[in-house]
Structure 1
Amino acid sequence: MNFRVLLAGGVAPLALLSHAAFGAEPAPVADPQNTVPPADVTAGPAEADGAPGDIVVTARRRTENVQTVPIAVSVVDAGRLEAQGTFNISRLTQIQPTLQFYTQNPRNTFINIRGIGAPFGLTNDGFEQGVGIYIDDVYYNRIASATLDFVDVQQIETLRGPQGTLYGKNTTAGAINITTTPPSFDFGGKAEVTLGNLNFKQGKATITGPISDTLAARISASTTSRRGTIYNVTTNSYIQSIDNLGVRGALLWKPRSDLSVTLSGDWNLQDPICCALPFYSYGRTQRAANRQLPALLTYFPGYPRADYPLPNVDPFDRLTDVDAQLAARNEHGGLSAKAVWDLDEGNTITSISAWRYWDWGPANDRDYTGLPIYTKVNNPTKQNQYTQEFRWNHKGSGYDFVIGLFGFHQSIRTSGIQQTGTAASKWLLNPTNALSNNPNVANNLVAVNDIRLDNTSAALFGKLNWDVTEQLVISPGFRVNYDRKKGLYNSVVTGNASDGTRQIVSPVPGSAYYNDPWITQLRGIQASQFFEPTFSAWNLSYDVNVRYKITPDVNVYATYARSFKTGGINLNGVPADANGVPIASAFTIKPEKVDHFEAGFKTQFWDRKATFNVTGFWTEIKDFQASVSNGQLGTVRGYLANADKVRSRGVEADLSLRPSDRFSTYANVAYTDATFEKFCDAPPPPELSGGSSTGIVVTGKCTYTGTIGAPGTPGAVSPPFVDISGSPLPGVSKWAAAWGAEFNLPTPIFGEEGQAYFGYDASYRSSWSSNPSPSIYTNVAGYSLHNFRAGFRTDRFDVFGWVRNAFNQNYVELLLAGTGGNTGLIAGQIGDPRTFGGTIKATF
């Protein structure tokens, strides 16, 4: 029996998508709690205890077809993850069409579902993302953990749409629920080795078994390494490598049949040569022509070497020339204890206690060039997180419910540094200023940042499932949540004064050296700032799900959810007034308020050899947390604030077919229309940035007087903000799809009875915007990726070869405007080229 109890406030989506699409037949999963299983599937149905083709769950102590459950969840099991080489969430996007994943490095990572979930392009310790990550019942507050390898994963469930009632705060877009394989009282294990091009090496091993009649253990390890895909001509080495290591262990204690206690621990390390975005293109801005990229490069003859002129580089040459040190050391781990006590036939008590830590050690080159402009832009971070949850599940006649309490505390300490080099004067100061020719002016401008966050929350939640009739089930739920955040932002900036001394670069008029000509220039690059923001609020989430069974194989359902994402505090600096004082109204970010409607149907036909599910959704968010640069607050500076309203609506369809044991296929498609319904003070895109402000007078939140210049016209007047109402949200494609198939044939080889098989899977996404405000320079073209595999498997081993991105598609994962002023430099995250290799797996 698997004593898996999902953290999601008592919801356990246990649908077993399984190797039905890929060969093996899994056993049903039992859950001792009377939890309500929301799920539908993205690929073929599993057979377990029910009629052929049934997808079975046992979450309510009875076998039931997951097709009757009224929430859309895509479920992928370990077999499919391994077959398709999906060893982290980044690769999961290729089989989950509505999931978007973007990362510059582990800290600067964003996950969206249906186009919503996180402000695009700005990392800030003081806010939380809208897609919850859960691993073995434990909520992971920092998204950096999602970039590491999966270790001994049993299955992954992607819940689409707000899940605030049962999955807790900050799931306005959905949740990703990862379950590892539990300890077993039957001795066994497995091992896997993979080798591929680019020096790809991956090893996995697991062993499990009894220690005594009441105690079982499981320990797993995984390691992955690969040479980088981008060649750095400055250091003559490859970057964007992979270097991951993970270890997980668990003890299951069952002193009697009605009680189980699981102690788990894990440690994970990611330490690649990473991360930098290569030059992608040049796009004209409104900055003066002598301060844009082509002119700036002429100030550095031979840069970075005579045979490598930056503006003419093809990004798919996979070259860069960054000169600063690179590092992306990402370590996290933790301990958890889960106790499940069946009081009697209808009552279960669950307790989940956990501690987790995160240690982030970066080194970056944020000017994206081989020039010593910014030599350091690093924000090393340490976090500790504690969670505790209690749940009571009760099963009665015609109803069941769960009631619970959840507590959370997190402390984050970031000690950052930003430092400029000898090229900073020419690059960052106006060339018409004689000081720009003196490299000593802006050299060694240093910002030392002390950033702190203490984040505490508590919640009371409940969910009722009422069987009104045999056909009709109504499931209302609620969650009352309290949040308190206390932060500190202290950036001390020092630079060179004209008398040769080191001085504080202060924004406060009348301060020491305020009028010094060198300090005056440095203040236009960066100045000291200190503030201590706080936030606290109560919030109520509630929802109701309705499911009606038309026939045993046709179900319709509908959901309304009122959810929220907790408010936040700005911890990256905020605008200051004319006296250099941070503006208090920008300290905090209001909570997002979400209204969500969803309806769909789930069907099985062709003797349950076919499954076809369709979901339609409409989500509206007020006070959407977004990246802004508001001119009316004084100095224009990027930070987080609230857009008035966004909307995401669309349709998702999933089809799977298994006409015989020899063949299976699936196809998933999603149409998503995600737009800013009202956002009148958004940050200008690159083509409308960097110009003068002559004649511009801000008269209100979204109004100003004056005439702006044409986009991309050097020296023109730039707007303080732009109205992007009606524009698409960044990061989301209107169309996304995933499809695949596998054929197998019984084939004895060397006396072993097994299957020879051939598999194919693919994904597609249409074009999308990669800038917080849509830009003509950062629209990412659509693309499709195609993968193949072929091999032979038995009950004891599996040997196969694989090729991914088989047609060597050139594609971009992310585009962004370079830092250091609106120079027109566009950097790009280039997707992996064709990779290929072989895998050997053994089970005992």
Structure 2
Amino acid sequence: MRFPPPNPLTLGALALSMAFPLHAQSDPSTAATLAPVVVHARGADEAPKDLPYSVDVVDGITLQERRLLNVEQVLRATPGVNVNSSGGANVSTIYIRGVGALYPMSMDDSSVALNVDGSPLSTRQIAIGTLDTDQIEILKGPQGTLFGGMGEAGAINLTTRRPTREWEGYARAEVGQDRQFLTEAAVGGPLTDKLAGRFAIRSAGSDHWIENDRTGGPLSKPRDLAFRGSLLWDLTSRTSALVSAERHRLRHYGEQLVLMPYSKPASVDMDPGLFQDSRKTIERYTLQLDHRFDGSRLTATSAYTDTYNIAPVVYDGKLQSALGRGSREFWNVDEAKERVFTQDLRLSSLPQSDVFWAAGVSYSTSRRSYDTPRNTYGDASAKFRDFDTDRYGVYGEMTYPLTRRLKLTTGLRQSWDRKTYNARYHGGGMVQTDSRKLDDSFTTGRIGLSYALTQQATLYATYARGYNPGGFNDYAAQPDDSKPYKAAKTDSFEVGFKTDSADGQYGLNGAVYLNRVRNNHLLSYDSATYVVSALNADTESRGAELQAVWRPGDGLAFTAGVSFIDAQIKTAVHGIGDGDVQAGNRVPDVSRWNGTLGVTYRKPLPAFLGLSAPVLHARVDYQYVGKRAADPQNHFDLDSYHKLDARLGIANGRAEYYVWGSNLLDEQYDLYGYFAPPSVAYGAPARGRTLGVGVSYTF
């Protein structure tokens, strides 16, 4: 069992929790009662049952108790959502209900919108941490009205905690096996009569769970550091301004290409210094102005993000040998930069209005690059690729009561995209240049009906149109590779129900759906020559979901969810270097069955060890993920797995001391998989079983 050496930040947080008296009383029955859930899916405070589509909500307390430290971990724990990630900080694919690019063409090729406090981020940034997060919403089904071409499959809304009018905050510290450590703290409150502020910081790290045969130690030592500051200024009684700035820095991450079957522990054979300079930074600055009129609300959101990533893609010695290329590792360095400015201006109805409506205009401009400046043999074959994108949108959505029980929801968005591509390809002592342009305009939206059987039970049916714009291939190595890929278009149908009891003791939601995607994006890759090209294939997914919550009382609560997805490729694609794709193949990475079960329990205990009012707090979370195809060719399947996590704590007043366990069954499940003809498979395993301890304090 490897625990980290004492960390100054960790020791500081532990000291903070000890410095305050532990005599404040805590009512366990109150702690177990959840406040009504409010979502911001359409830019307003609404109850989930008022939306004619499915929404999964993970609140900040659950994020902390389940140790979901970044957005990717949240998505992997959500039924109906699948993620392909090679373990690095910049490469990932998200599927919601089986909809997503078969292989993304570029950092701009995303079927899912990711928004942080109303400002968009590329889904390549799902490594972003959940620092001081209020809640995360996963919106399922096309969200084209508000998010345009980035919401073909759905959207992820992350809402951070805002400054408050009373001083409050928290601190927590954890240590665990594999030298895991985490220290996090936040504090906020009034600075003047009209100004409030909040500041949050997190430092985390561990030894990598994959070992390097050359050193006998961990492949690297990943480190995360994040902070955020925000100011809320009441300009007038009706006008406010929220300013925030944050920075996330991740170091020593990189893509893992590990030969299958894995050893235990999994290991690679490579130069131990290759990940030393790997780093990713995400900076975000936002200004949100909000003005309330007598019958409406005007919101203007301006955001600027600056992201940078540099990391090697390494074929280690064992993988090279299996591919017949000798025993020396081969690596490329990928370097990506992106600067994005977005502006959204929205006029909407007030909360609790009989008619919900929102209308607005948006603009974004992106300047990014995806370069391969060097590889094992130097910079003679360097590639430099620049991408510029300008997006404009006009949108509106309304929910109108046709009768006392029947409501109509309709939304429409018109979008315009303009993209340009400029590149320089070095090779053979020569330099080739390439320049291209692409203009596109498209319409997305939805129409739905909801019917209130009772105040607590609603039926709904929705049709939505999604769109994933065309663009240029990030990985082009010559002009022929950079031909624009086609836009993908989705028709989605959903029928469902939502129920909850008046006292919040139980709830049950369910849905069935059908998604048809034309010209889904498929990146062709030849592992023998490293040549890539852009192709398209139609896909279809159908399935069902069921979610339930039950709080029988006495501090006990149950949550459960199950998802079934049948996702298939409907058209054959030939001419791919690593094998043809046949019609009828399964969509890669999408498991047919996925289920979760969570149990929480709170119970007051007699005083002991100087604790005046201790409360036992236990939590167990189980997840099942079924087998899924590793690639569009369906060369092989990734195995199903069971994941069991647990947390046991003793709370007393404002402090809690706890132990935690992650992946207690020690499953060596796959983050992704790939096949290289004629018979080589590789991928990356997730971290195995780890245990740890922690302490938290709220004030």
- TM-score, length basis structure 1: 0.74
Deviation string, structure 1 residues 645-698 (Cα, Å, up to 9, x no partner): 21111000001110114100011000001111123336365xx5xxxxxxxxxx
Residue identity matched to 1:190: Y
| 1:256 equivalenced with 2:236 (yes/no) | yes
> Residues of 1 paired with 2:330 and 2:584: CA distance?
39
Whole-angstrom distance in 2 between the partners of 1:606 and 1:199: 46
2:367 maps to 1:411: yes
Q: Is the 8 A contact 2:585 2:632 kept in 1?
A: no
Matches within 5 A, 1:672-751: 672-681=565-574, 683=576, 685=578, 722-749=580-607, 750-751=610-611
2:618 — aligned with what? Answer: 758
- Give the 5 Å matches for 1:34-49: none
Change (3 A) 1:20 1:595: farther
Q: Does 588-597 or 98-107 show the bigger shift?
A: 98-107
Q: Is the 8 A contact 2:48 2:55 kept in 1?
A: no
> In 2, distance between residues paired with 1:636 and 1:745?
58
Deviation at 1:606, TM superposition (A): 9.3
**Deviations 1:331-379 (Å, cap 9, x if unpaired)?**
11021100110011x1110000011100112123135547675644012
Which residue number corresponds to residue 831 of structure 1? 686
Please list, as runs of the form range in 1=range in 2, the aligned pairs for 1:352-367 lying within 5 A after superposition.
352-367=301-316
1:796 CA displacement: 0.8
Change in Cα spacing, 1:684 to 1:22, as seen in structure 2 (3 Å) is farther
- 1-structure distance, mates of 2:182, 2:437: 45
State the one-letter code of the partner of 1:775.
Answer: H
Residues 71 and 491 (structure 1), Cα distance of their counterparts in 2 relative to 1, 3 Å cut: same
Q: Deviations over 1:397-442 (max 9, x none)?
A: 8523111011000001233234345xxxxxxxxxxxxxxxxxxxxx
Corresponding letter in the other structure for 1:683: I
1:321 alignment partner in structure 2? 269
Deviation of the 1:531 alpha carbon: 2.2
Of 625, 628, 632, the residue aligned with 1:768 is 628
Q: Within 5 Å, which residues of 2 pair with 1:410-559?
A: 410-420=366-376, 446-494=380-428, 503-504=429-430, 529-559=432-462
Correspondence 1:396-407 to 2 at 5 A: 398-407=354-363
Correspondent of 2:469 among 566, 569, 591: 566
Give the match for residue 8 of structure 2.
Answer: none
**Alignment partner, residue 344 of structure 2:** 389
**C-alpha contact (below 8 Å) 2:556/2:601 kept by paired residues:** yes
Q: Determine if the alignment matches structure 1 residue 800 to structure 2 residue 658.
A: yes
The 3-state SS of whatever aligns with 2:284 is strand
SS of the residue corresponding to residue 93 of structure 1 reads: helix
* 1:488 to partner: Cα distance: 1.7
Distance 2:457 2:49 in 1: 8
AA partner of residue 399 (structure 1): V
* Residue 135 (1) aligns with residue 116 (2): yes
Aligned-pair CA distance for 1:94: 4.5
Partner of 2:561: 668
| CA distance 1:168–1:240, change in 2 (3 Å) | farther
Partner of 2:288: 338
Specify the SS of the correspondent of 1:774: coil
Q: What residue number does 2:182 align with? A: 202
Instruction: Choose between structure 1 and 2: higher strand proportion.
Output: 2
Taking the aligned partners of 1:22 and 1:91, their CA distance within structure 2 comes to 29
Shift of 1:325: 1.6
1:54 matched residue in structure 2: none
Deviations 1:529-551 (A, max 9, x none): 54222211110112112110012
Measured in 1, the distance between the counterparts of 2:349 and 2:509 equals 30
User: Is the 2:581–2:632 Cα contact (8 Å) retained in structure 1?
Assistant: no
Q: 2:514 aligns with which of 608, 615, 618?
A: 618
Tell whether the 8 Å contact from 1:647 to 1:676 is kept in structure 2 after alignment: yes
Are residues 1:641 and 2:535 paired?
Answer: yes
Distance 1:603 1:400, change over 3 A: closer
Q: CA deviation at 1:627?
A: 1.8
Q: Is the 8 A contact 2:28 2:615 kept in 1?
A: no
Q: Which amino acid is 1:271 matched to?
A: R
Provide the rounded CA distance (Å) in 2 between the counterparts of 1:149 and 1:629. Answer: 31
Question: 1:598 aligned to 2:488?
Answer: no
Contact 1:21 1:665 in 2 (8 A): no
- Does the 8 Å CA contact 2:59/2:134 hold for their aligned counterparts? yes
- Which amino acid is 1:830 matched to? P
Read off the aligned partner of 1:319 and give its amino acid letter: S
- Provide the C-alpha distance between the structure 2 equivalents of 1:446 and 1:21, rounded to a whole number of angstroms: 67
Residues 797 and 123 of structure 1: is their aligned pair in 2 closer, same or farther, counting only changes over 3 Å?
farther
Q: 1:171 to 1:36 in 2, by over 3 A?
A: closer
Partner of 2:20: none
Could you report, residue by residue, the CA deviation over 1:2-32 in whole angstroms, capped at 9, with x for unpaired residues?
A: xxxxxxxxxxxxxxxxx9999444656889x
Q: Is the 8 A contact 1:239 1:275 kept in 2?
A: no
Question: Helix, strand or coil: the match of 2:82?
Answer: strand
The answer to whether the Cα contact below 8 Å between 1:190 and 1:843 also exists between their aligned partners in 2 is yes
Name the amino acid aligned to 1:277: L
Q: Kindly, what percent of the aligned residue pairs are identical?
A: 23
Partner amino acid for 2:51?
V
Q: Distance in 2 between matches of 1:843 and 1:606?
A: 30
Farther off after superposition, 68-77 or 272-281: 272-281
**How big is the shift at 1:773?**
1.7
Moved more, 596-605 or 334-343: 596-605
Q: For 1:23 and 1:771, how far apart are their aligned partners in 2? A: 45
Q: Does the 8 Å CA contact 1:183/1:209 hold for their aligned counterparts?
A: yes
Q: Which amino acid aligns with 2:533?
A: Y
Is this contact kept in 1: 2:101–2:520, CA < 8 A? no
TM-score where L is the length of structure 2: 0.89
| Mapped partners of 1:491, 1:376: distance in 2 | 18
Q: CA deviation at 1:770?
A: 1.4
Structure of larger gyration radius: 1
Distance 2:661 2:177 in 1: 10
User: Paired residue for 2:547, among 638, 650, 654?
Assistant: 654
CA RMSD, aligned part only? Answer: 2.6
Task: Spell out, residue by residue over 1:458-478, the C-alpha distance to the aligned partner (whole angstroms, 9 max, x if none).
Answer: 100000111111101101100
Task: Out of 87-96 and 162-171, give the one that drifted further.
Answer: 87-96
Query: What amino acid does structure 2 have at the position aligned with 1:317?
Result: P
Q: CA deviation at 1:480?
A: 0.3
1:176 aligns with 2:156: yes
Residue matched to 2:214: 234
Aligned partners of 1:22 and 1:328: how far apart in 2? 46
Q: 1:111 to 1:529 in 2, by over 3 A?
A: farther
